[in-house]
Amino acid sequence: MSPVLRAFLIISALLLLAPLLFPSVYYYRIGVLVLINTLSVTGMVVLLGYVGLVSLGHAGFFAIGAYATAVLPAYGIPPILTILVGAIGAALVAAFIGKPILRLKGHYLAIATLGFGMLVWMVLSKEAWLTGGPDGMVVESIDVKAPFELLGIKIKTAIAWYWICAVAVVIGIVLATNLANSPAGRAMRAVHESDVAAASLGIDVARTKLTAFIISAVYASVAGSLLALFNRYVTPDTADFLHSIEIMTMTVLGGASSVYGALIGALILTSLPQMLTVFAEYENMMFGAIMILTMVLMRQGLAPAIAQLFSRGRK
Amino acid sequence: MTSLTLENIGISFGGLRALDGVSFTANSGEVTSIIGPNGAGKTTLFNIITGIYQPDIGKVLIDGTDVTGEAPHDLARRGMARTFQNLQIFEQMSALDNVMAGRHLHERRNVLADMFGLPSSRKCNRESAIAAQAALKRVGLGGVANRPAGDLSYGQLKRLEIARALTTEASLILFDEPAAGCNAVESREIDDLISSIASDGAAVILIEHDMRMVMRISSHIIVLDHGRKIAEGTPETVRKSPQVVEAYLGVHGAKEAGAALA
């Protein structure tokens, strides 16, 4: 079975079966958040896992998508279309800032992306005439039940959102898996492992990194748009530094080298705080602790560790 | 027909003149070897040819076109490929994927087609896999195509790099100590491989310490010492040059070189 078909079947099956474990509509809401984070993290898998770059500013791209969806309907663009406009905007911004900063390596790049995220946060907080400032703004709602009603299915809003986001995640994961096994993805992995060797084969290292950066920005932006539509409210917190860290932690915990890791990382780190609301105060500490433990105990992340366990079992 | 010409190459690091007035031409169908004692400037010269360093003076020409200081990936586009002294393998990828990466310039590059898995992208992948499989067979690694590169032995990795360079279909291939660390049998296999690559029509440039290998397969040898070219010519003439014997080969080395030629 090709890796793409396998990813499609496994992820689809998981998302189809998950609702069997949902005792109430509230769980569908958590499910939606997990799926939206999965989308962001899948983009980060392309960036960190495929081409090996760290970004601590991806919440910036997430916020670009979220605010595109919040702001643009006032200018006559239908809410659904704002997802596309936001994605194109995020891609352009990524191309513009990526060109100079992707020449940096390791922690220099991390710091530069961190700066980008803060910049977006600052603009969103200060330009109140457009963004509503620190209080955020209301997002025009869309009728997500309509497509289901067309098919004659009566459905609650949160449940409709779950299925819409599930489709988005399956598409996102299939695209990323296709990429991994394609010429462009191979070039990315080659750059990741040895940029001198990649360049000696004619691979334009800077361009390859930029492509991955843009792709990951688009994933984050689409996730941001979906969250804005789902919550019907956006705040500058979408661009917050801690949100970038969250995306990064999910990626590292799940395992940056595989798209399955994206789902696992997003699932654990989105649902844990919801289950343990008593510890809400310590959420950020938890992210830090998880990051450290993952680095010390299983640098590859959970998904490869689980895969290894299975292959050992087979032997 | 491809030729690489170096004209009066010079470069200094701080006060040290690492290369001074080095010129030579390497032609297709020939193995041109660069030899010399440690610190003679071989690796520096290699780095200048492959675009990693920019020389202070002088020119690098491919088929008469000035390519001095062009980026490595642009040089690849002009038909240059290389192997690395301290292996540069994509270890997490399979042996086949390593070699398929060498097909980059022959692939139609369209990220969107790749992401959507369009037929054009799949066809491209299939063609690359076929070419890579052939290159692996040629270096004797046909049986380990699907193994992770990280699992291969040192000698196999040396050959994997050669397969990767071959699959680019470069007309100018540079080998940086391809037999270093290999045993006699492996070294012999690599000898034969490099000879056959040259006789297929590529211009081959070789840096190697193994004098037997150099004398056996080179058509043309450049001897460097302290950044200057002290001799140039066929293995026969170089071996007999008193300057070369003094600077590099020594009496024992000259004997060994003679044995290789005999």
User: Would you call A205 and B73 a contact, using CB atoms and an 8 Å cutoff?
Assistant: yes
Domain end point (choices B142, B169, B196)? B169
Lookup: tokens for B58: 């002088």
Which residue has 């791209």 as its token pair? A61
Task: Check whether residue B45 and residue B162 sit in a common domain.
Answer: no
Number of domains forming the structure of chain A? 1
pLDDT of amino acid A2: 86
In this prediction, residue A315 carries a pLDDT of 42
B109 plus B232 within the same structural domain = no
ipTM of the complex: 0.91
Residues B69 and B180 in one domain: yes
The residues pairing with B12 across neighbouring beta strands, listed in sequence order, are: B17
Q: Is there a single domain that holds both residue B94 and residue B130?
A: yes
Of B82, B88, B116, the CB nearest to A175: B116
Are A183 and B88 inside 8 Å of each other by CB?
no
Write out chain B residues lying below 8 Å of A51, CB-based: none
Please tell me whether residues B191 and B258 are part of one structural domain: yes
B77: tokens are 């586009």
**Residue range of the domain that includes A59:** 3-314
Q: Is B226 exposed, middle or buried (0-12, 13-18, 19+ CB in 10 A)?
A: middle
How close A247 gets to chain B, by Cα (Å)? 22
| pLDDT per position as a tens digit, A152-189 | 888 899 999 999 999 999 999 999 999 999 999 999 99
CATH number at residue B139: 3.40.50.300
The answer to whether A300 faces chain B, any CB pair under 8 Å, is no
Same domain, B191 and B257: yes
Which residue segment(s) compose the domain that B14 sits in? 1-79+171-262
Asked if A176 reaches chain B (Cβ–Cβ under 8 Å), the answer is: yes
pLDDT at residue A65 tops 90: yes
The verdict on B105 touching A (C-beta cutoff 8 Å) is yes
Structural domains of chain B, count: 2
Alpha-carbon distance of B193 to B222, in angstroms, equals 21
Chain A residues closer than 8 Å to B172 by CB: none
Mutate to test the interface with A, among B46, B47, B80, B109 (most CBs of A within 10 A): B109
* B174–chain A nearest CA distance, Å: 11
Last residue of a domain, one of B114, B146, B169: B169
Give the torsion sign (CA, A274, A279, A281, A282).
negative
Among residues B115, B135, B169, the one where a domain terminates is B169
Residue of B50, B67, B73, B107 to mutate for A, most A C-beta atoms under 10 A: B73
Mapped onto helix, strand or coil, the DSSP state of residue B26 is strand
Distance from C-alpha of A255 to C-alpha of A263, rounded to nearest angstrom = 10
Q: Does A182 contact chain B (CB < 8 Å)?
A: yes
Cβ of A200 within 8 Å of Cβ of B82? The answer is yes
Would you say residue A55 has pLDDT above 50?
yes
pLDDT > 90 in chain A, percent: 74
- Distances, alpha carbon A45 to alpha carbons A3, A53, A93, A181, B228, in Å: 16, 10, 20, 14, 49
Q: Which of A30-39, A66-75, A135-144, B236-245 has the least mean pLDDT?
A: B236-245
Exposed (0-12), middle (13-18) or buried (19+): which is A24, by Cβ within 10 Å? exposed
Residues B22 and B103 in one domain: no
B107 and B191, same domain (yes or no): no
Element (H, E) at B134: helix B119-138
Residues B147 and B187 in one domain: no
Distance from CA of B248 to the nearest CA of A (A): 31
Scan for tokens 């020449």, then name that residue.
A103
Residues B66, B67, B70: CA angle, nearest 5 degrees: 150
Distance from the B71 Cα atom to the nearest Cα atom in chain A, whole angstroms: 8
Any idea what the CATH number is for the domain that residue A201 is in? 1.10.3470
Query: Cβ separation of A176 and B121 shorter than 8 Å?
Result: no
B98, B160 in Cβ contact below 8 A?
A: yes
B114, B118, B122: best mutation site toward chain A, by most A Cβ within 10 Å?
A: B114
- The rounded average pLDDT for each run of 10 residues, N- to C-terminus, in chain B (262 residues) is 91 91 94 90 93 94 94 96 94 96 93 94 95 96 94 93 96 92 87 94 91 90 92 90 80 69 66
CA distance from start to end of chain A: 20
